[in-house]
Structure 1
Amino acid sequence: MVVGMVAGEASGDFLGAHLIAALRERVPGLKFVGIGGPKMEGEGLDSWFPMEKLAVRGYVEVLRHFLEIHGIRRKLRRRLLAARPRLFIGIDAPDFNLPLERKLKRAGIPAVHYVSPSLWAWRGGRMSAIAKSVDKMLVLFPFEEPLYRAAGVPVAYVGHPLADLTSDEDGSAAAREQLRLSAERKVIALLPGSRQSEVRYMAPGFVQTAKLIAARQPGALFLVPLVSRETRAIFEEAMYDAGAAELPLTVLFGHARDAIAACDVALVASGTATLEAALARKPMVITYKMAGLTYRMMSRMATLPWVGLPNIIAGEFLVPEILQHEATPENLAQAVLNSLNDPVVNRRLPERLDQIRRLLRRDTAARATETLLPWLQSA
């Protein structure tokens, strides 16, 4: 029995891998085809196209790659229609997956979308398109479920797997031992994103910020976990351009969770990594930069004052957000140092972030699997 599945970036690859493993436990013999990254391939997905081709964010950035992405979707649709999977699961990447899901649904292939587009933050007019594209929506956050129910879209809240995987114990000591770091040294994690396009925007500012922090916080060490050779090359090029070869900075291949657990504070590009830092109960500064036109368009359609997931879930500014033109190295460095050295923040924030973890911990893979089983067990 074939299941189609598409993820467009590292966070979706993580979700997809856990879902594949859970589905295989309940329905042995399933074959998974589509597009995914190394984690999904490690669980047995036959990925027909490189996932990195889809990892583009923002209007201007997508336009630059439109023909290539459109061509991949067209070829993928043909192969899926030929394979006739019992079920298709699109994981996040709504601009790629929703049009594909709509075509497959029209052809009689059930389509489930895993991870809601940010309707609660912007582009709320998409709900009608979603209703025509999916047979069910699996959402990660509790405030999303009533939005779909009100619109008549079948929905299930499944929680977030990162919350399931995060220990209740403080993992700082173990992570530092794993990375061979001193327990006394101040450690700052820099997470500039997973997509090549966003790392190009974020890396120069992150490097300059690290230089300022290093000058003001002697002995600080920086950890930079990156997901691919390509993103590592982009970041190292930014270091070279900034003359930052002497920075006390270690670039890691993967190990994002270890870097977050080991750090005293994180500077994080807005995205799933902010949730990872929140679940680890770490102080952080959230930032983001993108093409100016993209930012102006998104700002006009935004309906919430926050962009970072911890703040959105909490409904308040738990941690600082410094975006676009305000995201100068000086502003970022000062915010990181404030978070690093403020005893009030370090005392109060962990408990507030722990509330987020308790809210999202729902045994996600098992819940999602139960929701999908009727399609996979029917005759």
Structure 2
Amino acid sequence: MVAGETSGDLLASRLLSGLRPQLPEADFHGIGGARMAEYGFRSDWPMEKLSVRGLFEVLAHYREIKGIQNALRDRLLEEKPAAFIGVDAPDFNFGLEAQLKQAGIPTMHFISPSIWAWRGGRIKKIARAVSHMLVVFPFEEEIYRRAGIPVSYVGYPLAEVIPMEPDVLAARAELQLPANARVVAILPGSRMSELKYNSVAFIEAARVLMQQDASIRFVVPMAGAKQQAYFSELLTNAGLGDVPLQVVSGKSHTVIAAADAVLVASGTATLEVALFKKPMVIGYKMMRASWEILRHMGYQPWVGLPNILAREFLVPELLQDAATPEALAKALSGQLNDEPHRERLHQRFTEMHHLLLRDTAKESADAVLRLIGHKAAA
């Protein structure tokens, strides 16, 4: 198995939670994180080696990442595992899966790339690489069936993990926040590249909001110690070290549950925020050269997963040059203060939660067992 970042580690751990009881003696290894390790997964390389985003950012690490891919490929071709499961990380995993499938090793990919959001030409490449696709959105099944790729809809794993009605007061108590405070969660991303481009604009937006309402509490979860140190360095260099923030190690779900509104980088975290039924502003910045290429590739108007699922702009999206501190702050203020809008969002996000709710651990584990010809235990 290969997961390339924190969200992939969480998704893979849900699959492993269903698979480990069925295959108690199996050796699960590859690249993964701490959550996968809870189920006896052995990571041959640190997952952080693959946590790079953006065309030119990846190029800077290309030699090292390609070296890891080749070494893992050679090891697996010699080992001939019962199956290989790539969890997200499509740029790394599809190339590896194609070579393994050609050698007769069954390959599964968990989480479809956004072929419905960007140019769909990758479907032929996926067909060459993947023996079976696991998808987490119901509309994705038909895309793969039309392309002749075996597919299973397994639900969105976090729809099971996140409660239908989050306990706001318990989350605030855990974070030692006043029960009646106005709380804004800021999630600039878990990758170092995301922190680099989003952190300063996001915290400048917090400072603008704070000037309008000094009572607002801002809480920022960090994926790890390395990310937290880098985040602090970025703010200090930008002259933002004096902005009063509560920076928390991990606990992103607790932070989201405690919030009245969330400023979040585009990605899977946006759907987590929706499952917590929270108003949000989606912001994203990246290296200029990457943006100039990627902005011409989208063929639908939304990038945030909640908006894509809703097929409308439920929440604001402010990307690249539009993601100024003033614009982000203004949009956040609207999410905080428009009560009818907040109630509508709660209803729409509740409907979305029910749509995505399946027994993902069982459904995905059963698909793996069918792929390797192993009968599930009763």
Name the TM tier (shorter chain): over 0.9
Q: Which amino acid aligns with 2:155?
A: G
Structure 1 contact 203–234 (Cα < 8 Å) conserved: no
Aligned counterpart in structure 2 of residue 8 of structure 1, from 4, 8, 18: 4
**In the aligned structure 2, how far is the partner of 1:44 from the partner of 1:15?**
15
> What residue in structure 1 maps to residue 241 of structure 2?
245
Structure 1 contact 8–55 (Cα < 8 Å) conserved: yes
**In the aligned structure 2, how far is the partner of 1:77 from the partner of 1:98?**
12
1:338 and 2:330 aligned: no
Aligned counterpart in structure 2 of residue 151 of structure 1, from 131, 144, 147: 147
Q: CA deviation at 1:196?
A: 0.9
**Aligned pairs (5 A) from 1:36-115:** 36-115=32-111
Aligned counterpart in structure 2 of residue 124 of structure 1, from 95, 120, 123: 120
Q: CA deviation at 1:378?
A: 4.1
Q: Which amino acid aligns with 1:166?
A: I
**In the aligned structure 1, how far is the partner of 2:151 from the partner of 2:245?**
44
- Matched pairs, number: 375
**In the aligned structure 2, how far is the partner of 1:149 from the partner of 1:375?**
17
Structure 1 contact 220–248 (Cα < 8 Å) conserved: no
**Aligned pairs (5 A) from 1:86-235:** 86-235=82-231
Q: CA deviation at 1:6?
A: 0.1
Q: Which amino acid aligns with 1:199?
A: L
**Aligned pairs (5 A) from 1:256-267:** 256-267=252-263
Please state whether the residue corresponding to 2:57 is helix, strand or coil: helix
Structure 2 contact 164–353 (Cα < 8 Å) conserved: no
Q: Which amino acid aligns with 1:258?
A: T
Structure 2 contact 270–304 (Cα < 8 Å) conserved: yes
Q: CA deviation at 1:168?
A: 2.1
**In the aligned structure 2, how far is the partner of 1:377 from the partner of 1:28?**
16
Q: 1:318-342 CA distances to partner (integer Å, 9 max, x unpaired)? A: 0000000010101001111111111
Q: CA deviation at 1:188?
A: 0.4
Structure 2 contact 3–88 (Cα < 8 Å) conserved: yes
> What residue in structure 2 maps to residue 20 of structure 1?
16
1:283 and 2:279 aligned: yes
**In the aligned structure 2, how far is the partner of 1:377 from the partner of 1:171?**
42
Please state whether the residue corresponding to 2:199 is helix, strand or coil: helix
Structure 1 contact 225–259 (Cα < 8 Å) conserved: yes
**In the aligned structure 2, how far is the partner of 1:108 from the partner of 1:117?**
23
User: Closer, same or farther in 2 for the Cα pair 1:47/1:170, shift >3 Å?
Assistant: closer
Q: CA deviation at 1:377?
A: 4.4
Q: CA deviation at 1:74?
A: 0.5
**In the aligned structure 2, how far is the partner of 1:123 from the partner of 1:10?**
25
1:361 and 2:334 aligned: no
**In the aligned structure 1, how far is the partner of 2:76 from the partner of 2:37?**
18
1:274 and 2:270 aligned: yes
Structure 1 contact 88–110 (Cα < 8 Å) conserved: yes
**In the aligned structure 2, how far is the partner of 1:378 from the partner of 1:215?**
61
Q: Which runs of 5+ in 1 are unaligned?
A: none
> What residue in structure 2 maps to residue 293 of structure 1?
289
Q: 1:119-172 CA distances to partner (integer Å, 9 max, x unpaired)? A: 001131101010010100000111111111111111111110110112122321
Task: Using the aligned pairs only, state the percent identity.
Answer: 50
Structure 1 contact 207–242 (Cα < 8 Å) conserved: no
Q: CA deviation at 1:244?
A: 3.0
C-alpha RMSD over aligned residues? 1.2
**In the aligned structure 1, how far is the partner of 2:132 from the partner of 2:293?**
29
**In the aligned structure 2, how far is the partner of 1:145 from the partner of 1:186?**
41
Structure 1 contact 239–245 (Cα < 8 Å) conserved: yes
Structure 1 contact 207–238 (Cα < 8 Å) conserved: no
> What residue in structure 2 maps to residue 371 of structure 1?
367
1:350 and 2:339 aligned: no
Structure 2 contact 14–360 (Cα < 8 Å) conserved: no
Q: CA deviation at 1:75?
A: 0.7
**In the aligned structure 2, how far is the partner of 1:68 from the partner of 1:24?**
31
Q: 1:179-216 CA distances to partner (integer Å, 9 max, x unpaired)? A: 11111111100001111111111111112111111111
**In the aligned structure 1, how far is the partner of 2:125 from the partner of 2:248?**
40
Q: TM-score, normalised by structure 1?
A: 0.97
**In the aligned structure 1, how far is the partner of 2:349 from the partner of 2:292?**
30
**In the aligned structure 2, how far is the partner of 1:172 from the partner of 1:376?**
43
Q: 1:2-28 CA distances to partner (integer Å, 9 max, x unpaired)? A: xxx000011000011121121011222
Aligned counterpart in structure 2 of residue 328 of structure 1, from 303, 311, 324: 324
* Greater Cα shift, 368-377 or 145-154: 368-377
**In the aligned structure 2, how far is the partner of 1:42 from the partner of 1:370?**
20
